Structure 1
Amino acid sequence: MSGTIPPAQPPPGPRDPWVHPLSLWHWRHNPLRRRSDRLQGWIALGLLLLVPFLGLVATFAIGDVAYRHYVMTAAHQKQTRHLTTAVLTHDAPRHPEPGSEEAKKTRYPATVRFTDPQGRTRTAKTDVLPGLTADSKVEVWVDTDGALTDPPMTAEQIRSRTMGWALLAFLTVALAGTAAYGTAAHVLHRHNMAEWESKWAETAPRWTTFP
Structure 2
Amino acid sequence: MRAIRGLWCWRRNPLRRSTDLAESRLALAALLLMVVVTPLIGTAVGHLAQDSLHRTVREQHRARHLVTATVVRKLSRSPLDTDPDTSSSRDLRSRVIADWTAPDGTFQHGPTLSDLKSPHRGDRFAMWTDAHGRTVARPLDSATASTHAVLAGVGAALLTAGVVEVARRLLVWRMVRRRYVSWDQAWEQAGPDWGRTGTGS
Matched, 1:22 2:3: yes
Contact kept in structure 1, 2:114 and 2:127, CA below 8 Å = no
Q: Deviations over 1:2-42 (max 9, x none)?
A: xxxxxxxxxxxxxxxxxx96386663344433111111111
Write the letter of the residue equivalent to 1:116.
Answer: A
Higher relative contact order, chain-length normalized (CA < 8 Å, sep 6+): 1
SS at match of 1:140: strand
Matched, 1:174 2:161: yes
Write the letter of the residue equivalent to 2:103.
Answer: P
Instruction: Give the match for residue 203 of structure 1.
Output: 190
SS at match of 1:139: strand
Instruction: Give the match for residue 159 of structure 1.
Output: 146
Matched, 1:47 2:47: no
Contact kept in structure 1, 2:57 and 2:140, CA below 8 Å = yes
Deviation at 1:157, TM superposition (A): 0.9
Q: Supply the distance in 2 between the matched residues of 1:182 and 1:137 (Cα, whole angstroms).
A: 63
Instruction: Give the match for residue 133 of structure 2.
Output: 146
Q: Which runs of 5+ in 1 are unaligned?
A: 1-19, 94-104
Instruction: Give the match for residue 76 of structure 1.
Output: 59
Instruction: Give the match for residue 110 of structure 1.
Output: 95
Q: Supply the distance in 2 between the matched residues of 1:145 and 1:185 (Cα, whole angstroms).
A: 62
SS at match of 1:89: strand
Contact kept in structure 2, 1:88 and 1:112, CA below 8 Å = yes
Contact kept in structure 1, 2:93 and 2:114, CA below 8 Å = yes
Aligned residues between the structures: 181
TM-score (norm 1): 0.75
1:5-20 matched pairs, under 5 angstroms:
none
Q: Supply the distance in 1 between the matched residues of 2:188 and 2:114 (Cα, whole angstroms).
A: 77
User: Among the aligned pairs, what percent are the same residue?
Assistant: 21
RMSD of Structure 2 on Structure 1 (CA): 2.6
Change (3 A) 1:171 1:107: same
Q: Which runs of 5+ in 2 are unaligned?
A: 77-89
Instruction: Give the match for residue 56 of structure 1.
Output: 39
Q: Supply the distance in 2 between the matched residues of 1:159 and 1:34 (Cα, whole angstroms).
A: 50
Deviation at 1:74, TM superposition (A): 0.9
Matched, 1:34 2:17: yes
Write the letter of the residue equivalent to 1:146.
Answer: G
